[in-house]
A and B are shown apart, each in its own frame.
Chain A
Amino acid sequence: MENVVKFENVNKSFNDFQLNDVCFSVKKGYITGFIGPNGSGKTTTIKLIMSLLKRNSGDLKVFGEETVANSKEIKQRIGFVYAENHFYNHLSVKQMKRLVSSFYDNWDESTFQSYMKYFNLPWKKKIKHLSTGMRMKLSLAIALSHDAELIIMDEPTSGLDPVFRREILDILSEIIQDENKTVFFSTHITTDLEQIADYITFIYNGEIIFDDEKDHILEKYHIIRGAKELLDDDIRQMFIHLRETSVGFEALTDNPQKVRNLMGNDIIMEPASLEEIMVYTVRSGQHA
Chain B
Amino acid sequence: MNIIISNSSKEPIFEQIKNQIKQSVLRNEIKEGDSLPSMRRLAKELRISVITTKRAYEELENEGFIISFVGKGSFVAGQNKDLLKEKRLTMIEESLSEIISESKALNISLSEMKQMLELLYGEGEE
Chain A minimum-CB-distance residue to B49? A198
Which of B14, B38, B41, B47 sits near A215, CB closer than 8 Å? B14
Number of residues of chain A lying within 8 A (CB) of chain B: 19
Which of A169, A195, A219 lies at the interface centre, i.e. has the most chain B CB atoms within 10 A of its CB?
A195
Binds B, one of A174-182, A202-210, A237-245, A251-259: A174-182
Known A-B contacts A176-B40, A179-B40; the reply to A219 vs B12 at CB < 8 A is: yes
Residue A167 interfacial (CB < 8 Å): no
Interface size class of B (residues with CB under 8 A): 10 to 19
Known A-B contacts A30-B50, A215-B12, A215-B49; the reply to A170 vs B44 at CB < 8 A is: yes
* B50 in contact with A198 (CB, 8 Å): yes
Known A-B contacts A179-B40, A215-B55; the reply to A173 vs B12 at CB < 8 A is: no
* A176 in contact with B50 (CB, 8 Å): yes
Which of A173, A195, A197 lies at the interface centre, i.e. has the most chain B CB atoms within 10 A of its CB?
A173
* A173 in contact with B52 (CB, 8 Å): no
B39 to chain A, nearest CB (A): 9
The 9 closest A-B pairs by CB, nearest first: A173-B44, A198-B49, A198-B51, A195-B47, A177-B40, A198-B50, A213-B51, A214-B49, A215-B52
- A-side residues, CB < 8 A to B, are 29-31, 169-170, 173-174, 176-177, 179, 195-199, 213-215, 219
